[in-house]
Amino acid sequence: MVYPLDLKNKISIEGKMIGIQLQNIKCNKLGTGIKINNQDVDDSNSIADLKNFPILDLLDLLKQNHRYYLDKKLLEIDQSLYSLQKNHPFSNSNNILIVLSLFYIGYKTKLESHIKDEEDNLFPYIEKLVKIRDNIFDKREVTQILNSYSISKFNNSHIDIENDLKDVRTKIIKHSKGEDLPFQFKIFLAQIEHFELDLNRHNYIEDEILIPKAIELELTIKRRYSI
């Protein structure tokens, strides 16, 4: 049985509303409202189908995800955290809240710099590769672009943060062991888990679809220009 939880981010939780078992939470709709070529991109679309999308459309999707995380998702989580700090009625929750805040703030900083690296370096480079493919640049410019950056440079410098959110959540659950946590607290952890699922999908698209396509394009260009 699915109990819809009317939060801003439309989480649906499978399990009992009271005394939620965090391990059993399932989010059945990611609901980002993102579209590619007027098609909704959510659970009903097979992620694998995205392999057939042009690389610029994938970039567009990933940029929309980034905006959603920075402008909406993180703000919602910030608000929940703030409201938890303000309203929680349980005396021993204080320690857990401090731990939670520190882990979350650290994670948020990492995620923001992770996104900035992609938007400042990787995405513009891929856009330039597409322009090279479409013969927008001369050979001197092509050489300059390929010497200034590369997909392998990105892979070597980009820090993987895929499991960090899960670590945050696991540590919080561990620290709260045996505690009868306020309901709001459980909702907050459910929000984090929902975000984690969304980020996993996002990272899959980047790592398994975008990057292989970009490597292939880079190789084709290098062969074409004998670089």
Contact residues toward Fe ion (CB under 5 A) are 118
Nearer to Fe ion, 65 or 176 (CB): 65
| Least Å from the CB of residue 65 to Fe ion | 7
Q: How far is the CB of 10 from Fe ion (least distance, A)?
A: 22
What distance in Å separates the CA atoms of residue 64 and residue 41, rounded to the nearest whole number?
Answer: 11
118 vs 193 by CB, closer to Fe ion: 118
Q: Determine the residue with CB nearest Fe ion.
A: 118
Q: CA-CA distance, 65 to 204, in Å (whole number)?
A: 13
Report the nearest approach of Fe ion to the CB of residue 178 (Å): 37
Q: Which is nearer to Fe ion, 101 or 200 (CB)?
A: 200
C-alpha triplet 66, 69, 72: angle, nearest 5°: 130
DSSP label of 227: -
Shortest distance in whole angstroms from residue 43 CB to Fe ion:
19
How would you classify the pairing of strands 2-4 and 12-14? antiparallel
Residue 118 or 198: the one with the smaller Cβ distance to Fe ion is 118
CB 9 within 8 A of CB 1: no
Report the candidate in 10, 181, 13, 186 with the shortest Cα–Cα distance to residue 2.
Answer: 13
